[in-house]
Amino acid sequence: MKRIAMPVLFLALVGCGDSGYQDLQAFMRDAEKNSPRKIEPLPEMKAYAPFEYAGFDLPEPFRPRKLTPAKGDSAFQPDLNRRKEALESYPLESLKMVGTLQQGKEMFALVRVEKTVYRVKQGNYLGQNFGLITSIGDTDVKLKEIVQDAAGDWTERVSALQLIDESDKK
């Protein structure tokens, strides 16, 4: 078996050793003739001009701003030095009036926010717009809010917190 395998292997190797690369050489000559001689230069690159950020003095858009007194003389200005009450950290829309209490001649409203019920009376503050409670009725709490308009002037607006009926939800 070795006697036959060796000559067959030798003949196969000799058959692969053809030095006739005429077709490859002809392709290379054609490609050389058809290729353009002059290559266009690369376009001129513009020099990089770095961007200079000039907005360091502008207020940060993602940081809450503190209210400052208006520049003009406004009739309504909140007392910014007054100590804030607990319900002033919530927007008025998130506060719900759930009832009233009367002790003697004084009327209290029960206000719920985040599963906690607070007792408030006339003179307390509600909401984030300096809302002063002016009156408490059986079905609503009336308050005066002091808000700043686009011009920076303080204006007064009247708001109310209505009693919600829990039986309608069921």
CA–CA dist 66, 128 (Å, integer): 12
**How high is the pLDDT of residue 136?**
93
Lowest-pLDDT choice from 51-55, 70-74, 158-162: 70-74
Please indicate, yes or no, if residue 59 is contained in any of the structural domains.
no
User: What band does 62 get if pLDDT is binned at 50, 70 and 90?
Assistant: confident
Please indicate, yes or no, if residue 14 is contained in any of the structural domains.
no
Please indicate, yes or no, if residue 68 is contained in any of the structural domains.
no
List Cβ<8 Å contacts ≥24 apart for 166-169: 166/98
Q: For the domain that residue 147 is a member of, what is the CATH number? A: 2.30.30.830
Q: For a pLDDT cut of 90, what percent of the chain falls above it?
A: 42
Each residue of 79-121: pLDDT tens digit? Answer: 888 899 999 999 999 999 999 999 999 999 999 999 899 999 9
Q: For a pLDDT cut of 70, what percent of the chain falls above it?
A: 88
Please indicate, yes or no, if residue 61 is contained in any of the structural domains.
no
Q: How many folded domains does the chain comprise? A: 1
* Parent domain of 119: 86-169
Please indicate, yes or no, if residue 116 is contained in any of the structural domains.
yes
Please indicate, yes or no, if residue 63 is contained in any of the structural domains.
no
**How high is the pLDDT of residue 34?**
80
Please indicate, yes or no, if residue 36 is contained in any of the structural domains.
no
Please indicate, yes or no, if residue 125 is contained in any of the structural domains.
yes
